[in-house]
Chains A and B, each alone.
Chain A
C-alpha cells in the first residue's frame, strides 16, 4: 500500500551521487548481511555527504529525511547490485539499514539454496 503513498514522485540526487558505487553490470553474488549493511551505509553516506561513521545502521531511514522518492531509489540501486527483483515496500517493512540487510541476506541465501 505504500505505493499509494507517493506524493511527489521524483528524483533526488540520492541516485545521482550513489550510482557510481556499483555499476549494474557487476551483480554481487552471495553477499553477507554485514556486506549489505555496509553497502547501505556507504550508499547513504555518499548520497547524504556524511562520513559513514555518522550513519547509524540501527537508526530509521526516516531520521535521514528520506521521502518516498529517496527510498525508491535506494531499492532500485539495491536491485541492480544484488540482481534481485525487490519491492519498493521493503523500506517500509524494514526501517533501518540493519533490518534491511538482515532481510536481504536471507533473500540471497534463499535464492541460492533454491537454485543449487
Chain B
C-alpha cells in the first residue's frame, strides 16, 4: 500500500528517527508564553530522547496496541507524550481537558470506547486539576506523568517495536456524538501519505516554518502543523489557544518574528484578527514571509478573506497567500487546497439555482451568493460527488455528497464496525467494481476545472469555531437542565450568520409548568448547563408549547424542519430569548 519509492518514511517512528539522526541539534518546536516569549523549546534530538524515556517507562507495563489518553494543556509535553506512545507501540488518544464543572459523560464515553490503560499528563496539570484524578478514579487506569520520566542512563535501551504502515498510530475522537463516540483509526501509512500530499500541494521545504495556536487535540493543530513540520524537518512555533483568543495579533507577531511561511486556523480566527486589529500593536510587523495562510475546519467566508486581506495587506500580507482548505479526521486531516500562490477561487452563483441543488450563473445582483473554493484534488486521492438519493455519481456543477478514496483514508472507527461500514465502505451505484469510498457527510460540487466547493452538510452536525458538535448531545444537556423542559422534545441546529455558525435551540416546555414558568430562570439554567457541558454559547433559545416540535411519525426530531420553521418565523414561541443574535 505504501510506495517506498515515492515516500521517504514508512512510519512516524522512522520519521522521528531520521530527524533526530540528521538534525539532532536543530530546534523542532518552540512554545511561546502569553507575552510572546520563548517558554520552552525542543530540538529533534531532545524530542527523540525524551520520547524514548517515556516509551521505556510505558514498555514496562504495556502491551502493544494498549491505549493511552493524553490530557495536556498547551505546551510541548503533549508532543513528548504522543511520540513516547508511538515509540512504545501504545496508541495515543488526544483528548481535550474536561471542563471543571462538566459532568462525566463527554470524556467518559471516549474512555468507555477505547478502554485506555494509561492516562498521560504532566505535573502542571496534575497539580492544577486534582479533579481529574477523581473523575477517572473509578476506572482502572495507570497515571503517567511525562515530565517525571527520565531517560535510562547507561543501561541498554530497550528494543522499540518498528510499526508497519498498516498499524494504528493514534485514535482521533473528533467525530461522533457523546453517546456514540467515533475514534478514527489513523495508521502510520495514512499519516505519511497525507503528510506527503500536504507537502506537495503547499510546496513545503525544510525552511517552511510554521506558527500555530490551534490546540493539539485537534487534527489541524496536530497533523497539519506539528507533524507536517517534523515531516519537513522545519521549525514549528506554538502558542496557547487562549493566548490567541485574548491577543489575536500576537499570532501575527509570531509569524513576523519567526519568518513563518505557513500559519493557518479556522475561519473565525481571521475574523478575530480583523476585529481586534490595533495599528499600535502591528508596528514593525512584516507579514511578507507568510506564503500560505490556510483556512479550514469550518465554513469559509469570502467576506472574511477580503476583510483580512484588506486589513493586513499594508503589513506585507500577500493576497495570494490565502488558502482555503478542506479536510476531516476520517481522511487523516487533509483533502484539498489550492497550490502555493494559487490564491482563492471565489465564485458568484445563483441563489435560486442553489436552492434546487444546481449551480448556475446569477440572474442579477439579488440572485447572487458567493462560494469559496477549497482547492483542487491532490495526487493519489479520488473525489466523487454523489447523489444522496440515487447513489450515482454526479457531473460537474451539481451539488451532492462528497465522497473520497485514497491511501490517506483511515481504517475506520475503533470498535464500531457498523459506523465503519456505513461511512468508510460506500459504493457508487453503477460502479460496483470500484474501491470502497468514504462518505464525508458534506455536500458540495466540483466545477469544470476540478475546484472543490463545500456548500453544506448532509448530517445534523454543527461546526462552531472549528469544533464539531452533535445536536443530540446539546439537546440532552438542555432537557436535563430544568424540570419544566420536556425530554426528547427539543432541537438544536446551526445557522450561518455574518460572524460564523451559530447554534439555535428550540425546546418544548411541560404543560403543567406553563402557567408558573419563570422564563428567565429556565433560560439561565439552559445557558449555564450548555456552556458548562459543551463549552458553547447558545445564540438563541426558543421555548415552545408542548407537541409543537416537528417529529417524524416514528417520533424522531426533525431538526432540519425545525430549522426551516425557525428561519421562516413559523414557530410559536412562548418566549424568545434572543441573545447575541
Contacts and interface: CB of A to CB of B under 8 A. Distances in A.
Contacts of B318: none
A5 B246 contact: no
B52 to A, nearest CB: 26
Contacts, number: 131
B537 A7 contact: no
Contact of B242 (A14, A66, A68, A79): A68
Given A49-B580, A68-B535, A5 B100 contact: yes
- Interface size grouping (class) on chain A: 35 or more
A14 B580 contact: yes
A36 to B, nearest CB: 19
B536 A11 contact: no
A3 B97 CA distance: 10
Interface in B461-475: 464-467
B1 interface: no
Interface residues of B, number: 54
A14 B467 CA distance: 19
A45 to B, nearest CB: 11
A43 to B, nearest CB: 12
Nearest to A24: B278
Contacts of B101: 62
A9 B531 contact: no
A87 to B, nearest CB: 8
Given A67-B535, A72-B245, A15 B527 contact: no
A48 B579 contact: yes
A50 B541 CA distance: 14
Interface string A31-74: 00000000000000001111000100000001111111110110
A11 B535 contact: no
A10 B465 contact: yes
Contacts of B466: 8, 10
A67 B580 contact: no
Contact of A88 (B215, B242, B530): B242
A4 B537 contact: no
A71 B240 CA distance: 16
A9 B244 contact: yes
Interface stretch (B269-277, B287-295, B399-407): B269-277
Given A4-B74, A67-B531, A16 B275 contact: yes
A95 B23 CA distance: 48
18 contacts: A1-B125, A1-B129, A2-B100, A3-B243, A5-B100, A5-B535, A7-B99, A8-B464, A9-B215, A10-B464, A10-B500, A11-B275, A16-B275, A63-B524, A64-B524, A65-B524, A65-B537, A68-B242
Interface of B: 34, 72-74, 96-97, 99-101, 124-125, 128-129, 213, 215, 240-247, 266, 268-269, 271-272, 275-276, 278, 464-467, 499-500, 520, 524, 526-528, 530-532, 534-538, 578-581
The 9 A-B residue pairs with the shortest CB-CB distance in the complex, in nearest-first order = A65-B527, A10-B465, A4-B73, A1-B128, A7-B535, A9-B241, A8-B467, A3-B242, A72-B245
